Amino acid sequence: MSLTSKSPRRVTAMALGVGRRVLPRYGHRFSRHDFTLPQLFAVLVLRQFTRNDYRGIVAMLIDWPTLCSDMQLAKVPHFTTLQKAERRLLRDALIRRMLAQTVALLHRHPDTSLETSPLIAEAIDTAAADSTGFELDGASRYFVRRKARSPGLYQTTTYRRFAKLGVVADCDNHLILGTHATMGPRPDVDQLLPLMGGMCVNAVPQRLIADAGYDSEPNHILLREYLNITSLIPATAGRPTLKLPTGKWRYLMATAFDDETYGQRWQVETVMFMLKRHFGSALTSRKYQTRRREMNLRAVTHNLMILRFAELFYRAFLTPFLA
């Protein structure tokens, strides 16, 4: 498992730096200019990092003037300001650009500054794709599956709907390269196309590993013939049979499967574990679009935590924020 930073100030400083590379300074030239967009983005990341709500993060900033000084906040934003900023700053296109910046910063030369490191294509040796579900409420497992009065029996109370997040992760450093947030339950086989469409533009994986949920001939064609990525997906979908698959690439998977490389698929399972351990297994949002934005923000915050820890091995940066 990759090591992640546990310092709120360092993660916030990294979020502020990434926000400056992606977002304009202000939303409009005639706005009030009380806060910059990178500052609001850093507060949203801090909220996700501390697993807080909008009112809670505002109260934390009031009680933590040093953190406000780090972000150069003249005053603490109102919680409704953060709610409106979340709707504007966490759109899919901006999330994709933020993921791209985290990839660029992780692979940049140690002597390159945070503000001037270029956004160039980075060759990723092996990436893995998978999806996971998040609960829609904070109900305990005991409440969901509570014991009946009869000895040894359990009630069959279950909740079918859940939020679903698909990710593509770098197997070397557990950095998330792309996301696709939706609702479940639904199969993975038709989710590979939007998942690849949500990848950051500067990550070029040489191989992509996925489980049998993504097994289909069109998915192999998408990866190998259109994206020039070597796919490694076991050809086990469908009814059990002794016959070999008829498709070109599924036949190759059935006859010449690389089991040793496929073992790296567990790296993406580690990423799922890290997401739920750091941010919890339940979402706090109540609407579909806000749930999608919350899952995407968790992915960006996850990358910032890894990125900030990796940065410590290079040199200290953003000295005005961490002095």
Which residue carries 């579909």 as its tokens? 288
- Residue 318 scores a pLDDT above 50: no
Give me the mean pLDDT over the 135-158 stretch.
64
Task: Give residue 143's pLDDT.
Answer: 64
pLDDT digits (tens, 9 = 90+) for 224-247: 999 999 999 999 888 888 888 888
CA dist 220 and 270 (Å) reads 24
Q: What CATH number labels 120-296?
A: 3.30.420
Q: What is the mean pLDDT of the chain?
A: 85
Which residues, in sequence order, are CB contacts of 286 under 8 Å at separation 6+? none
pLDDT band at 214 (very low <50, low <70, confident <90, very high): very high
Give dist(CA 184, CA 136) in Å, integer.
11
Looking at the predicted structure, is the pLDDT value of residue 153 above 70?
no
The predicted pLDDT at position 316 comes to 44
Q: Are 20 and 97 in contact (CB under 8 A)?
A: no
For β-strands 203-210 and 176-184, DSSP reports them as unpaired
Judged against a pLDDT cut of 70, whether residue 119 lies above it is answered with no
